[in-house]
């Protein structure tokens, strides 16, 4: 199930009618008038969190436009979070996989991202890319691997989002890696389930 946003409510007697919200890191801050009742507060908090998350979902990743954009975004993320050390040979969108959102073959530097994620929020696609790029540095799911992945600041939130998306769609996905396309010559070394490994990291 997707992890709910952390919500902070800030009341102001100077605020008369308007309710607003913004995100600061993983926290959603909702600003409400001081006179509002607790029941009205709950209703407006729920509504503003929904609005904010819908707005974020509309800001899709530019990488969804094609493989070239996907690889360009991957290189940007590698520079930002992985010291520029992860350099994939190819990064491409592929037909929906049976049990995974994405996969990586460290032996030949190929990364495949499921078409199911084309409409996911950009920050979720970025997490998936960072996760797969990290396998080019550390093929397994050991502590060194997760240390790289956690350089991306929205890792935990993105993992929760993917778990919720999988549950809502009844997909039963266990993680990101390991669902090799038919005929792949180099089975992925990154084949552990994301959820169980993350829990132990």
Give pLDDT, residue 172.
Answer: 61
Please state, in angstroms and rounded to a whole number, the distance separating the CA atoms of residues 198 and 175.
10
- State the 10-residue block means of pLDDT for the chain, 201 residues long: 67 80 80 88 87 71 81 95 96 88 94 89 93 95 95 93 79 53 33 29 27
Token pair recorded at residue 102: 């994405």
Please state, in angstroms and rounded to a whole number, the distance separating the CA atoms of residues 114 and 21.
32
Within 13 Å and on the Cβ side, how many CA atoms surround 113? 31
Give pLDDT, residue 111.
Answer: 96
Within 13 Å and on the Cβ side, how many CA atoms surround 25? 6
Give pLDDT, residue 105.
Answer: 94
Give pLDDT, residue 15.
Answer: 75
Give pLDDT, residue 171.
Answer: 66
Among all chains, which residue has been given the structure tokens 């460290």? 106
Any long-range contacts for 158-162 (C-beta under 8 Å, 24+ apart)? 158/123, 158/124, 158/126, 158/127, 158/128, 159/127, 159/194, 159/195, 159/198, 160/1, 160/2, 160/3, 161/2, 161/3, 161/120, 161/121, 161/124, 162/101, 162/124, 162/128, 162/194
Please state, in angstroms and rounded to a whole number, the distance separating the CA atoms of residues 120 and 77.
17
């Amino acid at each position: 199930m997707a992890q709910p946003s952390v919500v902070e409510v800030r009341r102001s007697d100077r605020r008369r009618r308007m309710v607003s919200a913004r995100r600061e890191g993983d926290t959603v801050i909702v600003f409400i008038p001081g006179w509002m009742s607790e029941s009205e507060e709950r209703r407006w908090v729920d509504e503003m969190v929904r609005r904010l998350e819908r707005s974020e979902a509309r800001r899709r990743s530019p990488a969804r436009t094609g493989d070239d954009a996907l690889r360009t975004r991957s290189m940007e993320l590698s520079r930002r979070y992985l010291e520029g050390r992860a350099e994939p040979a190819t990064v491409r969108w592929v037909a929906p996989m049976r049990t995974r959102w994405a996969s990586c073959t460290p032996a030949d530097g190929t990364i495949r991202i499921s078409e199911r994620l084309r409409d996911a929020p950009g920050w979720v696609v970025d997490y998936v890319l960072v996760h797969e790029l990290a396998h080019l540095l550390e093929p397994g799911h050991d502590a060194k691997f997760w240390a790289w992945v956690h350089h991306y600041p929205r890792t935990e939130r993105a993992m929760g989002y993917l778990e919720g998306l999988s549950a809502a769609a009844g997909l039963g996905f266990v993680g990101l890696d390991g669902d090799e396309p038919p005929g792949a010559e180099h089975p992925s070394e990154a084949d552990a389930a994301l959820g169980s490994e993350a829990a132990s990291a």
